[in-house]
Amino acid sequence: MSRSGRIRAEATAATRSFLRRRTAVFFTFFFPVLLVLIFGVVVRTGGTGGGLFALPPAYYVPGYLAVVVLFTPLSRVGSEVARHREGARFEKLATTPLGRAEWLFAQTLVNVGVIGLAALLIFVLVVAATGANVVLGARTLLVVPYVFLGVVLFCGLGAVLGRVADSQDGVIAASNGVALPLLFLSETFVQPELLPGWLPVWASPLTYFSRGVRAATYDPAGGSVAPNLIVLAALAGLLFAAGAVAIPRTD
């Protein structure tokens, strides 16, 4: 079987396994929806002149998308690595022609599909539920590569967490510990003026995702889409490679 055949076999098995875990499927989509409803519909502080959620709803589109782009790959790939370790699946795979990068790429493809759907759902929901005035046009399509690269990046990081943590519980705890600070300190929901100047928001890969998606969907944001995309692509390549190397092939 060719490389593409191996990846297809792995991705097919991973997709089936995921779709048959109904709880996982439900919460993969429900969690970001819940967030949109809480912060976009219930907590509406716009017009108070300051604080969180004081900007127009469209400003927060990158934040809502970041929730799925960040949390889902981290926890899914991390848990998958932990499950594979506990079930000696990597030990088995190490004696098959499937390479580590191929395995991670297959998992990433599954996540791209799942998160792509979730992102589309969120995008529509934000516009419908909050009346966000997003830019709709050819430029909006640039969100697609941002979501793709974001998923690749955090799948890589998820694989690293799966390697470092010693159990599925450990992976969930570690991914929450990594994701929560990233989510709120990367120009997603909290605008830069509200963050202390010394905070290195540039060090968070999610910052480039937020800036790029905002530039593509929110008119007042201004700025260029391409530079952030390039940085995100470079980081995605780096993290994917780190994730592939981190995948264990020995005990």
Query: What is the binding site for other proteins (CB under 8 A)?
Result: 1, 5-6, 8-10, 12-14, 16-17, 20-21, 86-89, 91-98, 249-251
Distance in Å from the first CA to the final CA of the chain: 27
Shortest distance, position 32 Cβ to other proteins, whole Å: 24
Q: CB nearer to other proteins: give 94 or 242.
A: 94
Torsions phi, psi of 173, nearest 5? -65, -45
Sequence-distant (6+) residues with CB within 8 A of 159 are 77, 78, 81, 104, 107, 242, 243, 244, 246, 247
Q: CB nearer to other proteins: give 10 or 187.
A: 10
Sequence-distant (6+) residues with CB within 8 A of 131 are 57
Q: CB nearer to other proteins: give 9 or 101.
A: 9
Q: CB nearer to other proteins: give 96 or 191.
A: 96
Q: Is the four-CA dihedral 75, 81, 87, 89 of positive or negative sign? A: positive
Shortest distance, position 106 Cβ to other proteins, whole Å: 11
Shortest distance, position 6 Cβ to other proteins, whole Å: 5
Shortest distance, position 77 Cβ to other proteins, whole Å: 15
Shortest distance, position 30 Cβ to other proteins, whole Å: 20
Torsions phi, psi of 131, nearest 5? 70, 25
Q: CB nearer to other proteins: give 76 or 211.
A: 76
Q: CB nearer to other proteins: give 101 or 233.
A: 101
Shortest distance, position 84 Cβ to other proteins, whole Å: 9
Grouping H, G, I as helix, E, B as strand and the rest as coil, residue 251 is coil
CB 15 within 8 A of CB 113: yes
CB 79 within 8 A of CB 18: no
With CA atoms as reference, report the closest residue to 191 among 222, 231, 221: 221
